């Protein structure tokens, strides 16, 4: 990895791309630490401690690099853009006009990308309004010099303009990050959206390790031998998890393909054997991100309708608690909410894994291309039988991928039961490892193109 970066730095063009990417990531980190206008920084810092008890919000805060807990202008990160991408992709399957746009090549894809950005701005404003409503009624106990507590609001001197300014700030921040991600993809060295999520996670790693040390190894300033063993066990578990993520990410199911011999003029073509590599985790981390985005919507909508729903009982209060996973107390005292939350989360991950894998690997298109080029899978007839055979393989691969992603995704939720405050869960590890591997592959590919001299030299 470090050798690849060192070699890439020696190439002027790649060095420019690396510096451009670094500059945009620095801007992202600045924005993640600038509190939105009208917010009491001390009050929101105190209130943000409760986020550690919320499975989905805690993961969201990790992905945003702590921006969500600080109510920074980049608090929503690129979440609205990701959600908009999901909606557009689903609509592409359901609406023929959008499906035709997708088939029009680069021009059609550009139009779909424009629609995605417009929708992301609208969703960003809605999500910002939801964040405002969630924090608006919060009463934060602040310790005074005389030892007493005073309850303060998260927002300073709230006026009629406060919600408008706050919502506009968060929406503008999300839109700016959408532009930054686009620039990184076009002018940088990796996928911009993935790299922003990667940067948000990595920046919180040192604080996460120190928090774990303070809670396990030296609780209340006293060294604990058993805590040290638990800390070492967690580190070993993290290393094993990283190894498993790397193995599954790189593993592939190879389907043998044989090309028939054909004579064109005086030359003979074909006759060689090759294979179609099908990745075991072809969808990557996207199903988890998609599922996480969908899990936020029901609780957000219900919270907008009734801001005090968390303290009530009844059907809608139960739905709210299932999707929001409101607190550690709910997880322990009302374990049914936790079980329902995990089951729905796993079901969404499985659905999105299958859906996203089918989008990436179109079996009908692959079968048609093989038929046009004289290729066939040994023992399988060309055309529809080949497509059915590949679809059957893809079904098992998607099943394995969904199980793997599901196990990875629920690790942070299960760790919440321990109360250890482990901030670097399976989802974070999967994102970091996947993005790091993909970035290195793109760098190596660009280096190979620039180092290949060709037959003209």
What's the token pair of residue 251? 């593993």
Q: Do the domain assignments include residue 34? A: yes
pLDDT of residue 341: 78
The average pLDDT across 160-189 equals 88
Q: Distance between CA atoms of 117 and 259, rounded to whole angstroms?
A: 43
DSSP tag of 50: G
pLDDT of residue 332: 44
Q: State the CATH number of the domain containing residue 198.
A: 1.10.3370.10
Question: What are the Cα distances from residue 245, in Å, to 238, 250, 403?
Answer: 10, 8, 13
Q: Do the domain assignments include residue 380? A: no
pLDDT of residue 118: 92
Task: Find the helix or strand (DSSP H, E) in which 151 lies.
Answer: strand 149-153
Q: Among 205-209, 301-305, 311-315, 440-444, which is the least confidently predicted range?
A: 301-305
- pLDDT class of 321 with cuts at 50, 70, 90: confident
pLDDT of residue 328: 42
**Beta-carbon contacts of residue 384 (< 8 Å; ≥ 6 apart):** 367
314 CB-side CA count, 13 A: 8
Q: Distance between CA atoms of 194 and 63, rounded to whole angstroms?
A: 10
pLDDT of residue 428: 75
List strand residue ranges (DSSP E) for 186-339, in order.
Answer: 252-259, 262-264, 267-269, 273-279
Q: Do the domain assignments include residue 138? A: yes
**Does the pLDDT at position 34 exceed 70?**
yes
The average pLDDT across 288-316 equals 73
pLDDT of residue 172: 93
Nearest CA to 438 out of 73, 86, 193 is that of: 193
Q: Do the domain assignments include residue 44? A: yes
Domain that holds residue 99: 1-203
The average pLDDT across 159-184 equals 89
pLDDT digits (tens, 9 = 90+) for 120-130: 999 889 888 87
pLDDT of residue 457: 45
Q: Do the domain assignments include residue 436? A: no
pLDDT digits (tens, 9 = 90+) for 208-225: 778 778 777 887 778 888
Q: What is the pTM of this model?
A: 0.76
Q: What angle do CA 295, 300, 306 make, to 5 degrees?
A: 140
Nearest CA to 25 out of 77, 86, 61, 71 is that of: 77
Q: Distance between CA atoms of 95 and 115, rounded to whole angstroms?
A: 14
Would you say 131 and 75 are in contact if contact means Cβ atoms under 8 Å apart? yes
The average pLDDT across 327-347 equals 67
Q: Do the domain assignments include residue 133? A: yes
**Does the pLDDT at position 326 exceed 60?**
no
Our count of domains for the chain comes to 1
pLDDT digits (tens, 9 = 90+) for 182-210: 888 888 777 888 888 888 888 877 777 78
The average pLDDT across 139-156 equals 75
Residue spans of alpha helices (H) in 32-95: 41-47, 55-63, 79-94
- Long-range CB contacts (< 8 A, 24+ apart) of 199-202? 199/25, 199/28, 199/29, 199/65, 200/28, 200/32, 200/62, 200/63, 200/64, 200/65, 200/66, 200/67, 200/77, 201/62, 201/63, 201/65, 201/424, 201/428, 201/431, 201/432, 202/432
Between 192-203 and 12-31, two packed helices, what is the crossing angle to 10 degrees?
60
Mean pLDDT of all residues belonging to the chain:
78
pLDDT of residue 330: 45
Question: What are the Cα distances from residue 161, in Å, to 147, 157, 158, 165?
Answer: 34, 11, 8, 6
Q: Do the domain assignments include residue 96? A: yes
The average pLDDT across 70-93 equals 83
**Does the pLDDT at position 383 exceed 80?**
yes
């Amino acid at each position: 990895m470090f050798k690849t970066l060192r070699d890439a730095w020696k190439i002027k063009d790649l060095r420019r791309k690396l510096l451009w990417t670094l500059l945009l990531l620095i801007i992202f980190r600045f924005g993640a630490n600038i509190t939105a206008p009208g917010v009491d920084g001390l009050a929101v810092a105190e209130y943000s401690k409760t986020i550690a008890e919320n499975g989905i919000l805690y993961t969201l805060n990790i992905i945003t690099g702590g921006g969500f807990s600080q109510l920074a202008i980049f608090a929503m990160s690129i979440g609205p853009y990701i959600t908009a991408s999901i909606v557009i992709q689903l609509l592409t399957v359901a609406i023929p006009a959008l499906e035709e746009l997708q088939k029009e090549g680069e021009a059609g894809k550009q139009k779909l990308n424009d629609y995605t950005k417009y929708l992301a701005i609208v969703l960003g404003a809605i999500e910002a309004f939801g964040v405002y409503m969630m924090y608006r009624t919060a009463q934060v106990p602040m310790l005074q010099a005389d030892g007493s507590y005073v309850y303060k609001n998260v927002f300073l001197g709230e006026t009629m303009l406060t919600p408008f300014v706050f919502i506009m700030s968060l929406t503008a921040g999300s839109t700016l990050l959408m532009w930054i991600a686009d620039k990184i993809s076009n002018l940088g060295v990796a996928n911009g959206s993935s790299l922003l999520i990667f940067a948000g996670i990595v920046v919180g790693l040192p604080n996460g390790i120190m928090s774990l040390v303070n809670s396990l190894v030296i609780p209340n300033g006293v060294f604990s031998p058993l805590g040290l063993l638990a800390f070492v066990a967690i580190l070993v578990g993290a290393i094993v998890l990283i190894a498993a993520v790397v193995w599954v990410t790189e593993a592939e199911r190879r389907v043998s393909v044989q090309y028939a011999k054909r004579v064109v003029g005086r030359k003979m073509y074909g006759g060689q054997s090759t294979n179609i590599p099908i990745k075991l985790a072809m969808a990557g981390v996207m199903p988890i991100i998609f599922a996480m985005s969908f899990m936020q919507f029901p609780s957000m909508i219900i919270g907008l309708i009734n801001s005090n729903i968390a303290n009530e009982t009844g059907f809608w209060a139960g739905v709210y608690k299932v999707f929001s996973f409101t607190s550690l107390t709910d997880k322990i005292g009302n374990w049914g909410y936790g079980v329902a939350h995990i089951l729905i989360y796993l079901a969404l991950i499985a659905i999105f894994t299958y859906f996203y894998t089918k989008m990436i690997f179109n079996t009908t298109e692959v079968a048609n291309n093989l038929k046009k080029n004289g290729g066939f899978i040994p023992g399988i007839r060309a055309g529809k039988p080949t497509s059915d055979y590949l679809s059957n393989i893809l079904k098992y691969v998607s099943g394995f991928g969904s199980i793997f992603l599901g196990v990875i995704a629920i690790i942070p939720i299960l760790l919440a039961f321990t109360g250890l405050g482990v901030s670097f869960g399976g989802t974070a590890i999967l994102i970091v490892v996947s993005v790091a591997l993909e970035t290195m592959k793109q760098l190596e590919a660009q280096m190979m193109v620039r180092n290949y001299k060709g037959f003209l030299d």
